[in-house]
Amino acid sequence: MELNEELIQSIAKAVIAQLGNHPSAASAAKNHTVVKTDYSGFPLAKKGTNPKEVVIGVGPAFQREIGATIVGLDLNEVLKNLKAGIEEEGMVPRVVKVLKTSDVCFMGLEAAKISGSGIGIGLQSKGTAVIHQKDLYPLSNLELFPQAPLMTLETYRKIGRNAARYVKGEKVTPIESINDPMVRAKFQVKAALMHIRETEQVDKEIPIIEWEEA
């Protein structure tokens, strides 16, 4: 889902309302000042030519405004495990930062479109991930991992492995997803705040840049 400024404000107000029982958190949300990172000097990402390449497209706030997933997993370690999983299958990872959107499915599709193999991984800063293919519709995908609070470093490693196996044309067993109905309620406010922060960094003028922070 693409968020414009008006929708961001609406979500922010709803979140602040939910934080009514937590005065300190509500105050912090109200007083939050947006500082947008300037990526104008970064090299734009180009379409890869290596048929073994898997492109990982991270979110606009990744490793800058947000340094850990919704449950505190260091994003450097998340990225290292994704890359390790890809490399274990003999494929080549490349990381780009997708600045044009904060939607994980669109990140994954954009990554797949510039991947030499046509396979990409989308990764929001809060931890949600997707494996995508260049010729699919945005909201279609190969595998989706929507519950960021349940993700572990080993899960990200498995995602890297599966993405690489799709490149090789192997029969892929989808990663079993864990579903906990209590998770959404527990992390709803934090997830909304993190998504707002990611969306604040969206820059449609600089759509995708090469990224090797970790």
Any domain includes 75: yes
Question: What pLDDT score does 179 carry?
Answer: 78
Asked if pLDDT for residue 190 goes beyond 70, the answer is: yes
Question: What pLDDT score does 214 carry?
Answer: 47
Enter the pTM of the model.
Answer: 0.86
Question: Which of 20-24, 130-134, 149-153, 158-162 has the lowest average pLDDT?
Answer: 20-24
Any domain includes 95: yes
How large is the average pLDDT for residues 173-183? 85
Rounded CA-CA distance 49/52 in Å is 9
Asked if pLDDT for residue 12 goes beyond 80, the answer is: no
Any domain includes 26: no
How large is the average pLDDT for residues 124-130? 98
CB within 8 Å of 78: residues ≥ 6 apart: 69, 123, 127, 153, 156
Asked if pLDDT for residue 59 goes beyond 80, the answer is: yes
- pLDDT band for position 97 (50/70/90)? very high
DSSP label at 175?
Answer: P
Rounded CA-CA distance 202/186 in Å is 27
Helix axes 153-168, 75-88, angle to 10 degrees: 30
When divided into structural domains, the chain yields a total of 1
Helix axes 5-18, 23-30, angle to 10 degrees: 160
> Would you say 81 and 157 are in contact if contact means Cβ atoms under 8 Å apart?
yes
Any domain includes 37: no
Any domain includes 32: no
Question: What pLDDT score does 83 carry?
Answer: 98
Asked if pLDDT for residue 91 goes beyond 50, the answer is: yes
Question: Which of 31-35, 44-48, 127-131, 174-178 has the lowest average pLDDT?
Answer: 31-35
Q: Mind listing the pLDDT tens digit for each residue in 132-143?
A: 999 999 999 999
How large is the average pLDDT for residues 44-62? 98
Q: What is the CATH number of the domain that holds 139?
A: 3.40.50.10150
Euclidean distance between the first and final Cα of the chain, in Å? Answer: 28
Any domain includes 14: no
Q: Which residue, chain included where needed, has tokens 């606009």?
A: 60
- Return the structure tokens found at 99: 């600045």
Helix axes 181-200, 5-18, angle to 10 degrees: 140
Based on the number of CB atoms within 10 Å of its own CB, is 114 exposed (0-12), middle (13-18) or buried (19 or more)?
buried
> Would you say 160 and 86 are in contact if contact means Cβ atoms under 8 Å apart?
yes
Any domain includes 2: no
Any domain includes 24: no
Question: What pLDDT score does 178 carry?
Answer: 78
Residue 54 has phi, psi (to 5 degrees) of: -120, 120
Domain of residue 128 covers: 53-171+180-210
Q: Report residue 14 CA to chain centroid gap.
A: 23
